[in-house]
Amino acid sequence: MKLITALILSVTAITAQADPLGDSLKQIGFNQTNKGINKTVFAVYEKPMDLSSCQRFTTILATNLRVAPTNLVETTIFRLVRWPTDFGSMLLSCSGPDAKAVIALSRNNG
């Protein structure tokens, strides 16, 4: 729970750094897969996680951030949500077939 709290604090206290959540995401087991993908997405992190665990992680983040994410896609095998942040957006995808969670940090806030 301390690591999730660290992530929450990082999200809420963010400045326009190059990769504002990198250290917090790494502390809770996410691995960076790409950096500086393009002008909009500046970092992508992933972690092996089954779909139900990822959905629980989404709920924990939303509860601690006190902001419900926007559901972009929700099916029985995949979910994609977005939170607005000070630096743009944080997208979290949960994939059942891939058994992983992916977080993309974007400068786009829409």
91: its two tokens? 């997208």
Alpha-carbon gap, residue 23 to 108, rounded angstroms: 21
Contacts of 81 (CB under 8 A, 6+ apart): 58, 69, 70, 71, 72, 91, 92, 93
Q: What is the domain partition of the chain in residue ranges?
A: 2-106
Task: Kindly give the confidence (pLDDT) of every residue in the chain, 110 residues in length, as a single tens digit, with 9 standing for 90 and above.
Answer: 444 444 444 443 433 445 556 667 777 777 777 665 666 777 788 999 999 999 999 998 888 778 889 999 999 999 999 998 877 888 999 999 999 999 888 877 66
What's the whole-model pTM score? Answer: 0.72
CATH of 2-106, one of 3.90.1070, 1.10.287, 3.30.160, 3.40.50: 3.30.160
